[in-house]
Amino acid sequence: MIKINENYKKLQASYLFSDIAKRVAAFQQANPDKHIIRLGIGDVTRALPDACIKAFHAAIDEMANDATFHGYGPEQGYDFLRKAIAEGDFQSRGCNIEADEIFVSDGAKCDSGNFQEIFANDIRVAIPDPVYPVYVDTNVMAGRTGEAEAGRYTGLTYLEGTRENGFIPDLPSAPVDLIYLCFPNNPTGATATKEQLKQWVEYAKNNKALILFDAAYEAFVQDERLPRSIYEIEGADEVAVEFRSFSKNAGFTGTRCAYTVVPKACKAYTTSGEAVSIQDLWNRRHTTKFNSVSYPVQRAAEAVYSEEGRTQISELVGYYLNNAKFIRDQMEGLGYNCIGGENSPYIWIDAQGDSWDLFDMLLNKAGVVCTPGAGFGKCGEGYIRISAFNSFENVQDAMKRISGAL
């Protein structure tokens, strides 16, 4: 008899997005002529940069001729892209990351979901709250948790983000082995300083723990004092893996390209305490279960690092950041306390009450869709997230409507 992985039964169905969809549909039905402005999900809306488009087309032309055709590429990604990444995103910022430490993939979601596979099942896992649900769900599927109780899984250590700590979690009080961190944060938009990340790196070193650092939103960091990579912290290459994506800087959410940095110095341990290279383990996993990213997509991603590409990416990120600033200023002007929106495309807003009450009010009185914070964990209750990924015209209109409604 073919038996299921019973851990899947522990997964709590997330009613968040279906709940949102139902409420939005009901509103639209009642107000058929009203243009609803969606500032809920974190999906980009603007066209790919021209440099990427040109490289994309050129690569397809290569695929059209036997002589220049590309079949299977290296599972880890083409050297041209790995080198461009290592130089453009790390070496240029003083981080000692080499091309052979870059693993190109089709998404940070996949990588951040899959990475836990190479570790033992009885490790102690620490996950922020509020949080991107993939970190939690993939550990539940792997059997590292007990059942869910009151919205939290037994066996996980939750790193709480609160008003008091400015949504930068404190170090755990009991030891943990695998730590998920995400800065600039999704959903809160909070950013960690170098001093704060340094504490985590020291913690990891002292506890032989590993940090999985999700830096998918690093391009939005404008304050030069803030780190854009965990490798800006000395010694982080021994205790941290970093997830990056072209989704939010270059608008690749529908084009699909990302990468993970797995430094050679990173070690995990056998039960008998023998050190093993995490890069070797990940390389084995990656080459066995993945066949790399579409060649034309890798060429399009490479173009992000060209001079033209850099200028266009910077313009694109600036556009969304301008939206974010506008949203934050408006909401603050209306008397709401906000986090994020300065070095992040997300604005995390204290709802001054229930998440869903503010959600309903914004929808029903202004025709604007946001995301109730409760969907990101217990600590998200009492907050909403507004995303800056939309046209400035829509953002302006949304804020005008919200002002009018309040």
Query: In the range 77-106, which residues lie near its own copies by CB under 8 A?
Result: 106
190/262 with CB nearer its own copies:
262
Q: Is 24 in the site for its own copies (CB under 8 A)?
A: no
Whichever of 71 and 335 has its CB closer to its own copies, that residue is: 71
The answer to whether 192 and 227 have CB atoms below 8 angstroms apart is: yes
123 binds its own copies (CB under 8 A): yes
At residue 181, what are phi and psi to the nearest 5 degrees? -130, 150
Query: Which residue from 70, 152, 325, 378 is in contact with its own copies, where contact means CB under 8 A?
Result: 70
Stretch that binds its own copies, among 30-38, 85-93, 137-145, 356-364 (CB under 8 A): 137-145
Task: Output the smallest distance, CB 189 to its own copies, in A.
Answer: 19
| Residue list 369-398, contact with its own copies (CB under 8 A) | 391
As a whole number of Å, the end-to-end CA separation of the chain is: 59
Q: What type of residue sits at position 275? A: A
Residue environment code for 287-314, b if the CB has 16+ CB neighbours within 10 A, otherwise e: eeebebbbbbbbbbbbbbbbeebeebbe
Name which of residues 34 to 53 contact its own copies (CB under 8 A): 41, 43-48, 50, 53
Among 310, 344, 251, which residue's Cα sits nearest to residue 88?
310
| Residue 306 is a binding residue for its own copies (CB under 8 A) | no
Distances (CA, A) of 132 to 25, 113, 135, 138, 216: 25, 11, 7, 11, 12
Nearest to 310, CA basis, from 249, 263, 252, 372: 249
CB of 338 to its own copies, least distance (A): 25
Window 243 to 282, contacts with its own copies (CB under 8 A): 251, 253-256, 268-271, 273, 276, 281
The distance of closest approach from Cβ of residue 357 to its own copies in the complex, given in angstroms and rounded to an integer, is 28
Residue 110 lies near its own copies (rule: CB under 8 A): yes
Task: For residue 258, give the H/E element and its range.
Answer: strand 258-261
Sites for its own copies among residues 193-212 (CB under 8 A): 207-210
Task: Please report whether residue 148 would count as binding its own copies according to CB under 8 A.
Answer: no
Candidates 108, 111, 133; CA nearest to 246 is 108
What residues from 335 to 364 belong to the interface with its own copies (CB under 8 A)? none
Count of chain residues binding its own copies (CB under 8 A): 78
